[in-house]
Amino acid sequence: MDVPPRPRWLAFPRVLWLALLGALLVSLPTLGMGFFGDDYAHLLMLEGMPGVPGGPFDLFRFTGGNPEGVQGLIQRGPYPWWTLPELKLAFWRPLSSALAVLDHGLFGRSAVGYHVHSVAWYLGLVAVLGVLLRRVLPGALGVLTLLLYAVDDAHALPVGWIANRNALVAVTPALVGLWMHLEWREAGRGWARPLSLVCLALGLTGGEAALGVFAYLLAYEALGARDGTTERMRAVVPAVLLGLVYVAAYKALGYGASGSGSYLDPLGEPLRFLAAAAVRVPALLSGLLLGAPVDLWPFVPATRPALVIAGVAGAGLFAWLLRAAWPALPAEERRHLRWLFVGAALSLVPVAATFPSGRLLLVPGLGGCAAVAVALRHGWRSWARREGRHGGLAVATGGLVLAHVVGAPLGWPVTVLAAREANAQAERMLQVTAGELDTERLPTQRLVVLPTPVPTLGMFAPMVWAARGHVLPRSWWTLSLSLEPHVLTRTGPSAFELSLRGGHFHTSEFEQLFRGPAHALPVGAQVQLDGMRVTVLEAGEEGPTRLGFALDVPLEDDSLVLLHWRDGGLRRLPPPAIGVPVAL
């Protein structure tokens, strides 16, 4: 009598439901994340607040490079005084903006509805990846890849940060486009060819993250397709033309980034972009391959060399692991893994246009998780065969298990808790600040805000203040976002200086967001606002080290309110005596 085969519990389509369940469980904490960072700017745009850049259907136009418009944002706030007048930070994401308009119409100021919407997009992304992997890696390797991707904590911010949902909105339809391209090329389904282009185009309207999916399509035609060179070139031409039309339209409509040190234009600033990518890509690799905390990059600059070194070491480690595993892989798996790995590497290039962060690994993670899956399966098989001579392999495999199997799911609640603590800290700060101000007089006053211990509080405080419905001051002047300790010295009745105990102004990611190093202010440079003149008194090779501020009235005048950080909030700073330094 024949013995029925044992059921394969971890096989498609059952594994797809398991992956969706895992994705749902890890993403549930994001429902309590609330509004965060740029979400407040978007709320102001959605509600039509006068004077804010962008608009309801253009939420990602933070500044369009118009000096007059930028000057108003500097004078009133929230942009700091050193913002480059020609700064452009404008990103074309019409579909993502339209979905935010829909959310606001349905849920208003209730963030939970927005988060449920984001989780739905993430589940859709995992589902699409599942059916794509069933096409290219239908065995255990595809199963493990899908499960690793579903719980990857690098996805916590795209899911939990409402303003970053644009990455999900861009990648999900674009990934459908890649799947349809494979259905056409691998199974000969002609109807899938036009559908592929439609989905790729739809992804591009969600955001620039869709360009990373094009990297996989190009890699497939170069390394994975079975046809000859001529057929491969014919197959890839429509997608290439679509990408070129998109880039041309993007530029023609006035979108892009220029003047910033955090966001670079690969086409407009190729040399600066390549120099930045040389360190940004290895840092991203450390997060992609080793699960390193790449989000420390902007907050703890001292970790940057370690992240770069870890990325280079991780690439070497995986080269060794994959070389060892490669001979045992079936030919069909090797065919598809080649283009998945190259696609992941190529997709790191466009995201290197901004500073490293785990949230940028949504697309590189498609091939990155496949690489981790190959390494883990090879390590498991070697252990199962009791190959004791591979002690280094056991250590490497154990480290990958800790990072990607144990640590990744735990990273989701850690990310959410960090964001919620940042929100709570901002709320406490603004409650304290509100108690320090006279709401009746505030519309005629200028707030002079001295450095806070957490630069993001200084960046987003004006937007959170406005979104909370507080009375707006005449001006909100943020004087510094440097991470270094500051010293204030009053030099006259209406003048004072700021200096650093170490380092330079305008060298952190938070400061260079508004003015890149190519536009550094030299000694003697002045920035004139209505009521305040800033002069660079001393500067080193990296940037200013001592700044002078001259106001149009004495510091004791009622039209000025000096605020500094003390006891958990921004409190009034009594004007110090002339010549007496005050540590901030």
Cα Rg of the chain, angstroms: 26
Q: Are 547 and 541 in contact (CB under 8 A)?
A: no
- CA-nearest of 261, 257, 258 to 543 is 261
pLDDT of 212 strictly over 80: yes
pLDDT of 458 reads 82
Where does residue 261 rank: exposed (0-12), middle (13-18), buried (19+ CB within 10 A)? buried
Q: At CB < 8 A and 24+ separation, what contacts does 299-306 make?
A: 301/483, 301/508, 304/279
Query: Which ranges constitute the DSSP H helices of 352-407?
Result: 364-384, 391-400
Rounded to the nearest angstrom, the gap between the alpha carbon of residue 481 and the centroid of all alpha carbons in its chain is 19
Average pLDDT, the chain: 93
pLDDT of 48 reads 86
| Backbone region of residue 302 per phi and psi (left: phi > 0; alpha: psi in -120 to 50; beta: other values) | alpha
pLDDT tens digit sequence for 381-409? 888 776 545 678 888 899 999 999 999 99
CA dist., res. 133 & res. 399, Å (int): 25
% residues pLDDT > 90 (the chain) = 79
9 pLDDT band, cuts 50/70/90, is low
**Strand, helix or coil for residue 363:** coil
pTM of the model: 0.94
Would you call the peptide bond into 522 cis, given omega within 30 degrees of 0 as the criterion? Answer: no
Secondary element (H or E) of residue 550: strand 544-551
pLDDT of 510 strictly over 60: yes
CA dist., res. 399 & res. 406, Å (int): 10
**In the chain, where are the structural domains located?**
14-32+91-262+269-420, 438-583
| Mean per-residue pLDDT, 326-351 | 96
| Mean per-residue pLDDT, 186-199 | 96
pLDDT tens digit sequence for 515-565? 999 999 999 999 999 999 999 999 988 899 999 999 999 999 999 999 998
Q: Which amino acid would we find at residue 115?
A: H
Residue spans of beta strands (DSSP E) within 203-314: 256-258
* Beta-sheet strand order (sheet of 581-583): 526-529, 532-539, 544-551, 495-500, 486-492, 581-583
